[in-house]
Structure 1
Amino acid sequence: MRFMGLNEVREAYLKFFESKEHLRLDSFSLVPKNDNSLLLINAGMAPLKPYFTGLAKPPKTRITTCQKCIRTGDIDNVGKTSRHATYFEMLGNFSFGDYFKEEVIPWAWEFVTKVLEIPKEKLYVTIYEEDDEAFEIWSKSTDVDPSRIFRLGKKDNFWEIGQGPCGPCSEIHFDRGVGVIKTVEEFEAAADADRVVEFWNLVFTQFDKDENGVYHRLANPNIDTGMGLERMAALMQGKNTIFEVDTINSILQEVCRVSNTVYGENAAKDVSIRIITDHIRSVSMMICDGVLPSNEGRGYVLRRLLRRAARHGRLLGLTSAFLYNLCDIVVENSKGAYPELEEKKDYIKNVIKIEEERFEETIDSGMGILAEYISELEKSGEKVLKGELVFKLYDTYGFPVELTEEILAEKGLGLDMEAFNVEMKLQKERARKARGESNYMGSEDSITNKIPAEYNTNFVGYDHTEYSSKVSLLIKDEEFAEVLEAGDKGIILVEETPFYAEMGGQIGDKGIIYSDNFKAEVEDCKKSVAGKTLHFATVLEGSLKQGNEVKLKVDSVRRNNIRKNHTATHMLQAALKEVMGDHVHQSGSLVDEDKLRFDFTHFTAMTEEEISRVEEIVNAKIMEATSVETEEMGIEAAREKGAMALFDEKYGDIVRVVSVGDFSIELCGGTHVSNSGEIGLFKITSESGVAAGIRRIEAITGFNAIKFLNEKLTTIKDIANTIKCNPKEVVNKSAALVQELKEKDKEINELKKELAKGAEGELLNKIKEVKGVKYIAAVVDNMDSENLRELGDRLRNKLDNGLVVLGSAFDEKVVLLAMATKEAVAKGVHCGKIIKDVAAVTGGGGGGRPDMAQAGGKMPGKLPEAMNVVEKLLETLVK
């Protein structure tokens, strides 16, 4: 048994199955495509679900992958044990109705014993207790000792989730102990004690379980295998845990270096070191695949992992951002298998750093809120913080529960974990509902996902906007239909179509489908999960049956506007890279007939100069009237040509390359103009931030851009007419008017101060007294909060033991103020409490300190009534 590094194990596995005529696919993105059942890809087979269900045809019936996966179900155990992890890679080989047990079992044994060179005396095999077929193949087609094959029950060796495809499985186990295991009972005991470690599961999907629990034999059974890369690497390196594996241990040692700790010396610190080591792998991969920190969905998973790691950094004494630098080692370890990590390294590090810095602010604000909660507990004499408040700190402010618990313990207080867990459960249920319910394979249970694989549509829309074809399938009311009639809404599938189905950010075409005695309006065109082209239509006249010949006509004016915007989007990305730098990558886009929207990676708002420069570059290329070429070529040839691609997209062997001269070269399946001059004009209408490290540009082209500019010119002319100047002088004249208004406002404020001084003497004549505390409660005319505060200060200074409460109507709103002397506060006066009740009378609210508080209201007419409550409040408060 030879030593093999993690990267070496991965490559050996994939090469082996390539030698068995498998197509090697790159790992799919961690973000699921067309699958609401998952937040993140959590198994090697997850991205391949449509192939297993028959909803889509695989590129080959034999496939092998190494799939990036995230699982957070056991997140609380990550770090506490040496085997749990949130990020892992799953090696797999898959057969879609091709080979079955007879082939996969001998191949598995060959790989394990010949390629990995694991001694046979260290291996055991388990099979489903009723699977005689598997036992026969293991014992006759391999040289495994039959005494090392154990039959186990459904719990261990039968794979099923609810109804749907399922089947027995066979697992291969490595024995880390000494001596021979002879019985099932001994084997199960060894497995429970972690002496025996399962490392490869071969799933034989040969049944379809119906709603009555009956297992029906599949006509074309499938193979789905899974081998955890990290676990396999640990075995090949003679290590007991994944944290000792070469690539992972290099991260762990760097965590120790930056935190000045030694792994293995302190159990509590070891937990923190393992958590940081695991989580930095997860977050680096997630960000690379386009996930960004947020308060919901997969963004929340990312934020939780990042903040959990940052929190444990604090426990190791790291008080400033450090995680982003650990990303370098993750990239170095994995860039061979995932080159996009190297290309997006700076972006990944920036996102991590921004989130770390935000967490530092969160910790500080959370400490303040927790301090208030503790103060309230101490005042009330209670000892346990309510679970709802703990959850609010955790969910709204991102404040770790462990930290809340630790701080409370220091004060001799506790928290209601049971109530907190109830809140957590409710949140998980909300998240599950947000994802949507799904069937076994994770697709929405829609009729469109039951369209047989043979119904395919050939897209002819690159060259045609009108085309004749035959109707292949009709859908109405979530059922396959024989006919669509006038007034019906349904879905039409045809053999060929000029209609573009929404994809790659470009919206679907609209238009009509018609014949001599039929007409339907196509309101949208989309792809199903399995890639079927669906025309969503309303029948206007006549009727339509399967097999009818029809004509399909795209709204060409709308299509042309979409084409202009799509080509402009490509040119925009090229211009952004030129102006902002190569770190710019597309994060999302939307192209419709009215505008284009482009999300891209960048960390600060663009300046006006940068926006203008981008516009100039794009418009210069438009005016050059450059030919826009589209070519089909192999993926490697496209890369050599310099074509930009989206990291999280899968491309076939043959791709479509769209080139605007040598200025912009991208892989794209959308529709485009044939010459950049057709775009006419390009104008950016907005630039904004949508998430940490993501900016958004919205822009328009052609006549929409001309209309936009004309509207701006009309606005300028209207302003010029209003302020009575030439349009060219609008800026200077406006600036002069603003300056004049400022000076007049200054004069008005001075006059108000003089009036306030006059009011001061009048108000001092209205002093009243309650229990030895003097007070003034009065309404003054037309004062803003600043002037009211100045008047209140002067009045309070004239009182040695007193309270001032003032109200004013300003800009049709209520402004309220309460101020008290130290002596009055000592006698029980609390301005915050007083102003809260006074404001309530005017339909408002507010609060503040015992000596000063401010508030607002909505009903100026209630001010006199509000002032009348002050005396009663004082009688209650003053001791």
Structure 2
Amino acid sequence: MQTAEIRRRWLDFFADRGHTVVPSASLVSDDPTLLFTVAGMVPFIPYLTGLVPAPYPRATSVQKCIRTLDIEEVGKTPRHGTFFQMNGNFSFGDYFKDQAIEYAWELLTNSEQDGGYGFSPDDLWVTIYEEDDDAFRFWKKTAGLPDERIQRLGMDTNYWSTGLPGPAGPCSEIFFDRGPAYGADGGPATDDDRYVEIWNLVFMQYLRGEGRSKNDFEILGELPRKNIDTGMGLERVAFLKQGVENMYEIDQVRPVLDRAAELSGRRYGADHDDDVRMRVVADHVRSSLMLMADGVTPSNEGRGYILRRLLRRSVRAMRLLGVDAATFPELFPASRDAMKAAYPEVEADYARIGRLAYGEEETFLKTLESGTSILDVAVEKVRKSGSRQLEGDVAFQLHDTFGFPIDLTVEMAEEAGLSVDRSAFDTLMAEQRNRAKADARAKKTLLADLSVYSDFRAKGETVFTGYEFLETDSTVLGIIVGGESVQRAGVGDIADVILAETSLYAESGGQEADAGRIVGADFELEVLDVQRPVKGLISHKVEVTGGEVGVGDAATSIVDPQWRRGATQAHSATHVIHAALREVLGPQAHQAGSYNKAGYMRLDFNWNQALSPATRTEIEELSNNAIRNNLEVETRVMPLAEAKALGAMALFGEKYGETVRVVDIGGPWSRELCAGTHVSRSSEIGLINLVSEASVGSSNRRIESLVGLEGFRDLALERTIVSQLSANLKTPREQLPERIADLMASLKAAEKKIAEFQSAALAQRVPALIDSAQRAGGLTRVVENLGTVGSADDVRTLATTVRSRLGLEAGLVALAAEVASGGGPAKPVVIVATNEGARSLGVRAGELSKLAAGILGGGGGGKDDLAQGGGTDSAAIGAALEAIAKALPA
């Protein structure tokens, strides 16, 4: 049974039983505490927790998911994948435990001819929470399973909660027994790969309180509305129904694995390590394809970092398979063709996806070359020290800074006859993960705080009137201070205020929130921010600047008209520049993010090379011509499908409902889905002044522009600067570039001449320094304060010259000086140089420079033969040189 058929049967089964079929949400989660959609229930969390009223009593979906917590297990077990699809059915206070169990058993065991999956009841086992007698009774009644195949397990495996106060409840998992050839008898309790979990039924029936751990918390009582949340792993069922050994061999994944085998010339099934690497490639390429289809681009943070890691692990795995050349142009099309039937967007948008993937692979292959060079230097250093082990911090630096995989470091170190201090590396990685977990916990707390909004959201959605009006009369529905709902707030309080209607725009779609006020008969509030903490609800963060505001008070929201005008100019400018970009560069230059506020906008777009000055000028001229042509700006509200049929662009990272707002500037020239505020005609934008264009990743560029009056002010400032230069240099404006270039050339020639004079003067000091040499303890030493010199390089040159003049006898040179620092105050520097004879006596330049630098109030160090130190206390130069002298052999 093909994966697409398993998916179709699921949706048909539950649709026939009154469930609303909900399309998969994006892999980019709406939940601010999650980077990705990690489970099928994530899009339904607001309904399951009661934060937002459910729009339907029961629902079903096949949800795209990404999880990378077990990334190291990918390829090693039959079921671990970073991208997977979760079939789910959900009840929001409708049916409960008995019906959920009945549905699950019916779909699993009905024959394929009758629309089921055709599993034999003899192959299925069930686990339940150890105290859930209701589940035990329902399973006996529905499935007739013998008692020993309904295993009672503890809270750590069969009890669900978010980890925070809120909904919780027992769960029941369904397992398929693969047979004695795959492991020990004894059922799922053995935790053996023989038993594959295929479906988890969560019975959300209790309200939990605070707890000391995952398994230790207080149950406060039953929920007034009990919910059902179930999830069946589509890939797990697929590999069982297709008779293959694991999820990497199913129809949606195997083509990539086979292509990796062909490219490497190795046969799948011949070698365990190679098999794991091919599975990693197959999994990670598919996951990367799906992430990029949902708008994620490679970067060094957040979602982009996860994507980059998946891509680089794929490159690494192919390298370990013996392929050093680029492989993504072969692997990604194989994945595209396997996934396009279920997700047509991967084919429709493949030009962009392929460009991102191929560019990232090319960049990483170059990074591997750089990392290899750095590793070679580190290996040589270890060899010279006599050690046989590469330090863990070196391996961590290669991993963290250069993206160099640890197992590649281990492999290459072993080729050089060295081991890697994995213990130290693992400690550093653990510290990094702990920092990340601490950050995640901090973010998770924010989710708990959202529960305070549930009562307000239950009263309905906030009505936004700001498209038509800058002022709107309304009523205060709620006030939140310090995370708690209160009845009143007074002068000086910072509060979140919920209104029934508002004209103030909440930050979204790249547009910053409106500035403004909320006023009433007895109060005045300054608006600090406007957000949508939960879907459908607008919250105003305010400072009470006068009087006292209370729940139920009449209130008027007032938008700062100058701010709004600037914000609409900037947002419309973003659309205009996006259209101009696509006209100049082509449709593959797709927006990848934006931010705009009064007077300023920036736009990130998919492109992998810098724009030439001529191209920047062309984009700027096109944009300002659109302004000059006074194009009409039209907004329309329509169904999403109709908007897409009209060619309206849906921007990555944005979430759209079934009804959307379409903004046209000049008709189809710029047609985008957008909920932001806009000018009514393009001439109202005023002016677009592109001020920068730069890289924000290997495949992304960023344009920044000043808009309207701010753009004019910037140009006026440049005009003033040019006028001043023209007057001071007595040169016409159009000749300034040549005049300045001539002056720079003259200055460089003068600096070179000065440097030559200084070098000659320093060279004349060599004989005197040689004459100052003293000999003690078998060592000739020159320890001198040079006074003030031009640069640390001069001191270094003098030190090495004197060292060479000392001949073959053991010698040390320690020179200190004050060095001018870019026109700032002079700072002390010390250079220590030793020859081979001195080092044989145990004299180390690095140790001595570090000693002196500590006295100078700074730091230093270096190699045994030449080292440098510095600081801030020039008065301590004498003491620093004296310390060096005392440290030498007597």
Give the TM-score taking structure 1 as reference length. 0.88
Q: In structure 2, how many angstroms separate the alpha carbons of the residues matched to 1:352 and 1:559?
A: 43
* Residues 690 and 706, structure 2, Cα contact 8 Å, conserved in 1: yes
Match of 1:13 among 10, 14, 35: 10
Match of 2:82 among 69, 81, 86: 86
Match of 2:710 among 704, 708, 715: 704
* Equivalent position of 1:200 in the other structure: 199
Match of 1:361 among 354, 370, 383: 370
* Residues 663 and 672, structure 2, Cα contact 8 Å, conserved in 1: yes
Q: In structure 2, how many angstroms separate the alpha carbons of the residues matched to 1:823 and 1:633?
A: 85
Could you say if the C-alpha distance between residues 80 and 732 of structure 1 is closer, same or farther in structure 2, counting changes exceeding 3 Å?
same
Q: In structure 1, how many angstroms separate the alpha carbons of the residues matched to 2:767 and 2:424?
A: 58
* Equivalent position of 2:25 in the other structure: 28
Q: In structure 1, how many angstroms separate the alpha carbons of the residues matched to 2:881 and 2:330?
A: 60
* Equivalent position of 1:182 in the other structure: none
* Equivalent position of 1:224 in the other structure: 229
- Is 1:675 the counterpart of 2:681 in the alignment? yes
* Equivalent position of 1:592 in the other structure: 597
What is the identity, as a one-letter code, of the residue corresponding to 2:461?
Answer: N
Shift, 1:54, TM fit: 1.4
Shift, 1:95, TM fit: 2.2
Q: In structure 2, how many angstroms separate the alpha carbons of the residues matched to 1:266 and 1:64?
A: 41
* Residues 124 and 148, structure 1, Cα contact 8 Å, conserved in 2: no
Could you say if the C-alpha distance between residues 169 and 809 of structure 1 is closer, same or farther in structure 2, counting changes exceeding 3 Å?
closer
Q: How much is the aligned-residue C-alpha RMSD, in angstroms?
A: 3.6
Q: In structure 2, how many angstroms separate the alpha carbons of the residues matched to 1:195 and 1:847?
A: 58
Shift, 1:826, TM fit: 6.4
Q: In structure 2, how many angstroms separate the alpha carbons of the residues matched to 1:122 and 1:360?
A: 55
Q: In structure 2, how many angstroms separate the alpha carbons of the residues matched to 1:74 and 1:751?
A: 64
Match of 1:165 among 143, 164, 167: 167
What is the identity, as a one-letter code, of the residue corresponding to 2:4?
Answer: N
Shift, 1:745, TM fit: 2.4
Q: What's the secondary structure of 1:456's corresponding residue?
A: coil
Q: In structure 1, how many angstroms separate the alpha carbons of the residues matched to 2:274 and 2:368?
A: 21
Q: In structure 2, how many angstroms separate the alpha carbons of the residues matched to 1:434 and 1:193?
A: 33
- Identity within the alignment, %: 37
* Equivalent position of 1:347 in the other structure: 356
Q: What's the secondary structure of 1:26's corresponding residue?
A: coil
Q: In structure 2, how many angstroms separate the alpha carbons of the residues matched to 1:154 and 1:793?
A: 74
- Is 1:736 the counterpart of 2:742 in the alignment? yes
Q: In structure 1, how many angstroms separate the alpha carbons of the residues matched to 2:411 and 2:581?
A: 48
Shift, 1:618, TM fit: 0.8
Q: In structure 1, how many angstroms separate the alpha carbons of the residues matched to 2:611 and 2:258?
A: 39
Stretch of structure 1 that moved more, 632-641 or 113-122 = 113-122
* Residues 323 and 353, structure 1, Cα contact 8 Å, conserved in 2: no
Q: In structure 1, how many angstroms separate the alpha carbons of the residues matched to 2:378 and 2:865?
A: 22
Match of 1:752 among 745, 758, 764: 758
Q: In structure 2, how many angstroms separate the alpha carbons of the residues matched to 1:701 and 1:735?
A: 32
* Equivalent position of 1:322 in the other structure: 327
Could you say if the C-alpha distance between residues 12 and 860 of structure 1 is closer, same or farther in structure 2, counting changes exceeding 3 Å?
same
Q: Deviations over 1:575-596 (max 9, x none)?
A: 2222333332322222112311
Query: Gaps spanning 5+ residues in structure 1: where?
Result: 180-184
* Equivalent position of 2:239 in the other structure: 234
Match of 1:800 among 804, 807, 820: 807
What is the identity, as a one-letter code, of the residue corresponding to 1:784?
Answer: S
* Equivalent position of 1:278 in the other structure: 283
* Residues 325 and 349, structure 1, Cα contact 8 Å, conserved in 2: no
**Residues 306-705 of structure 1: matches in 2 within 5 Å?**
306-323=311-328, 325-342=330-347, 343=349, 344-345=352-353, 346-369=355-378, 372=381, 376=385, 378=386, 394-396=399-401, 398-403=403-408, 421-437=426-442, 443-444=448-449, 447-448=452-453, 451-661=456-666, 662-705=668-711
Q: What's the secondary structure of 2:660's corresponding residue?
A: strand
Q: In structure 1, how many angstroms separate the alpha carbons of the residues matched to 2:278 and 2:614?
A: 46
Stretch of structure 1 that moved more, 815-824 or 55-64 = 815-824
Q: Deviations over 1:344-392 (max 9, x none)?
A: 312233234424432443344245335545655x46xxx8777666655
Shift, 1:654, TM fit: 1.1
Could you say if the C-alpha distance between residues 764 and 29 of structure 1 is closer, same or farther in structure 2, counting changes exceeding 3 Å?
same
Shift, 1:19, TM fit: 4.1
What is the identity, as a one-letter code, of the residue corresponding to 1:875?
Answer: P
Q: In structure 2, how many angstroms separate the alpha carbons of the residues matched to 1:817 and 1:364?
A: 28
Q: In structure 2, how many angstroms separate the alpha carbons of the residues matched to 1:375 and 1:717?
A: 61
Shift, 1:25, TM fit: 3.4
**Residues 111-126 of structure 1: matches in 2 within 5 Å?**
111-112=107-108, 113=110, 114-121=114-121, 124=124, 126=126
Shift, 1:251, TM fit: 1.2
Q: In structure 2, how many angstroms separate the alpha carbons of the residues matched to 1:478 and 1:255?
A: 53
Stretch of structure 1 that moved more, 553-562 or 125-134 = 125-134
Q: Deviations over 1:264-314 (max 9, x none)?
A: 212222222222222223333334445555666555544544444433333
Shift, 1:620, TM fit: 0.8
Q: Deviations over 1:129-187 (max 9, x none)?
A: 776766776677x7x555599433243655445553234444444454499xxxxx976
* Residues 844 and 858, structure 1, Cα contact 8 Å, conserved in 2: yes
Stretch of structure 1 that moved more, 309-318 or 862-871 = 862-871
Q: In structure 2, how many angstroms separate the alpha carbons of the residues matched to 1:804 and 1:469?
A: 81
What is the identity, as a one-letter code, of the residue corresponding to 1:336?
Answer: A
Stretch of structure 1 that moved more, 629-638 or 728-737 = 728-737
Give the TM-score taking structure 2 as reference length. 0.87
Shift, 1:234, TM fit: 0.8
* Residues 593 and 653, structure 2, Cα contact 8 Å, conserved in 1: no
- Is 1:40 the counterpart of 2:47 in the alignment? no
Q: In structure 2, how many angstroms separate the alpha carbons of the residues matched to 1:439 and 1:594?
A: 35
* Equivalent position of 1:782 in the other structure: 789
Shift, 1:529, TM fit: 2.8
* Residues 779 and 889, structure 2, Cα contact 8 Å, conserved in 1: no
Q: Deviations over 1:810-837 (max 9, x none)?
A: 4234455555666666676655555554
Query: Gaps spanning 5+ residues in structure 2: where?
Result: 211-216, 821-825
Q: In structure 1, how many angstroms separate the alpha carbons of the residues matched to 2:358 and 2:818?
A: 52
Stretch of structure 1 that moved more, 244-253 or 356-365 = 356-365
Shift, 1:544, TM fit: 3.1
Q: In structure 2, how many angstroms separate the alpha carbons of the residues matched to 1:699 and 1:132?
A: 65
Shift, 1:339, TM fit: 3.8
* Residues 169 and 201, structure 1, Cα contact 8 Å, conserved in 2: yes
Could you say if the C-alpha distance between residues 819 and 65 of structure 1 is closer, same or farther in structure 2, counting changes exceeding 3 Å?
same
Stretch of structure 1 that moved more, 657-666 or 76-85 = 76-85
* Residues 127 and 174, structure 2, Cα contact 8 Å, conserved in 1: no
What is the identity, as a one-letter code, of the residue corresponding to 2:356?
Answer: Y
* Residues 475 and 481, structure 1, Cα contact 8 Å, conserved in 2: yes
* Equivalent position of 1:49 in the other structure: 45
Q: How many matched pairs?
A: 861
Could you say if the C-alpha distance between residues 158 and 539 of structure 1 is closer, same or farther in structure 2, counting changes exceeding 3 Å?
closer
Shift, 1:626, TM fit: 0.4
* Equivalent position of 1:713 in the other structure: 719
Q: In structure 1, how many angstroms separate the alpha carbons of the residues matched to 2:446 and 2:546?
A: 39
Q: Deviations over 1:405-438 (max 9, x none)?
A: 5567678876665665554444333212212347
Q: In structure 2, how many angstroms separate the alpha carbons of the residues matched to 1:315 and 1:250?
A: 20
What is the identity, as a one-letter code, of the residue corresponding to 1:62?
Answer: R
What is the identity, as a one-letter code, of the residue corresponding to 1:220?
Answer: R
Q: Deviations over 1:633-665 (max 9, x none)?
A: 111111121111123433111110001013211
